[in-house]
A = this chain, B = another copy of it.
Amino acid sequence: MQRPLENIRVLDFTRVLAGPYCTMLLADMGAEVIKIEKPETGDDTRSFGPFQNDESGYFMFLNRGKKSITLDLKTPQAIDAIKELVKQSDVLVENFRPGVMKKLGLDYESLREWNPALIYTSISGFGQYGPYSQRPAYDLVAQAMGGMTSITGHPDKPPTRAGASLGDMSAALYAAYGIMVALFHRQRTGEGQCIDISMMDSIFALLESNVMRYTVDQVVPERIGSRHPISTPFDIYKAKDGYVVIAVANDSLFKRLCTVIRQPELAEDERFYLDPLRTKHEAELKTIIETWLAQYTVAEAVEMINEGGIPCSPILTIQDVCEDEHTKARDMLVDIPHPVTGSVKVPGNPVKLSRTPPIIEKSSPMLGEHTSDILKTLVHQQG
């Protein structure tokens, strides 16, 4: 089987999260990813926990299947080596602050002269141009500046960061998509180009119809916890030992719910018989539902409500999802061997391609593991 990105070489200058996740998506599909790391310490995440036999779980997850070469980018020899590598590569990805690659003489305008077909990809907090392009990026800042934070959380609490680093992860995903579009274009025309991805743009692009509410109706969406803006009861509710999701999007589902909670009269109640009325009397209905739920565990409640034909689910913890049969059935946790730790369990790839599936089987590299091999086969023989 030919892997989809076989014979595609990626020069990877990325560090920490957004860049490495992007090149991981390429490595999972068979690209040869050469990670360029600084000597002695390498990618900062090599020292991020959690640790397994002193190896970083953070690093092992994001850098599986890549090669590592250490180069001191402040030396002219390193820059010469990189130019040789650029000539023989298809894609370059970097996530330094805008301007750093230029100072090194490694900006797109310089490198395209060495390889006009290169696809040069930059990921940064605010992008390569625009008034904020020089600002430092943290996920918390990207979520706040992109508009996501203002609509996440409960109305009586401060705006809230989504629990994972969506600024990094979404930027990585848009970048991987952009790289594949550029590779496809190059395959048909021979032309290279550069790609500029910003974390703030990426967060804003995830807001979906919230943006339209403002541009069309000048409504500014606010925090409404986990509620549905239009339908009720469609929220997270408290049971005896935790929380459950109940998702009732129309009147007939509501009728069924009233039967399950043994209060069929509610379906005719003048406060609740139509969806807009239920949304108006949302707080009263929530109290009724939570009074019923207080008698049952999450497992009991989810079973009864689902049996009634009403969409309902528990809220899985990270442990729950990791141990879930569905996660296992879909290979969303994968064991990979590692020379130091023996093996490590990492998140799988959700892109299930039937003919050319993502393959996750090689560990992350030890720092500089491939330096001499790469210098010998790709750099010096060209000299």
Complex interface: chain B residues within 8 A of A150 (CB): 163, 315-318, 320
Contact A351 to B315, CB < 8 A, known contacts A4-B182, A4-B185, A184-B184: no
Is A202 a contact of B350 with CB atoms below 8 Å? Answer: yes
> Would you call B184 and A141 a contact (CB within 8 A)?
no
Partner-binding segment picked from A77-85, A206-214, A261-269, A368-376: A206-214
* 0/1 interface trace, chain A 157-178, chain B, CB 8 Å (1 if under): 1111111111011110111111
**Contact of A355 (CB < 8 Å), options: B17, B140, B191, B236:** B191
- Copies of this chain present in the complex amount to 2
Given the complex of chains A and B, what is the CA–CA distance between A100 and B149 in angstroms?
37
Query: Which of B60, B163, B247 interacts with A138 by CB under 8 Å?
Result: B247
Shortest CB distance A309–B (Å) = 10
Which residues of chain B are within 8 angstroms of A159 by Cβ–Cβ distance?
A: 226, 236, 243, 315
Measured CB to CB, the residues of A under 8 A from B are 2, 4-5, 17, 21, 25, 29, 48-52, 57-58, 60-61, 108, 126-127, 129-132, 135-136, 138, 140-141, 144-154, 157-166, 168-171, 173-178, 180-185, 187-189, 191-198, 200-202, 204-221, 223, 225-226, 228, 234-236, 238, 243, 245, 247, 249, 311, 313-322, 325-327, 329-330, 332-333, 344-356
- What are 24 A-B pairs with beta-carbon distances under 8 A? A2-B185, A2-B188, A2-B189, A49-B217, A57-B217, A61-B209, A130-B325, A140-B235, A145-B314, A146-B316, A147-B320, A149-B236, A153-B160, A154-B157, A163-B207, A164-B206, A166-B166, A169-B208, A174-B351, A182-B356, A185-B356, A205-B348, A211-B347, A215-B333
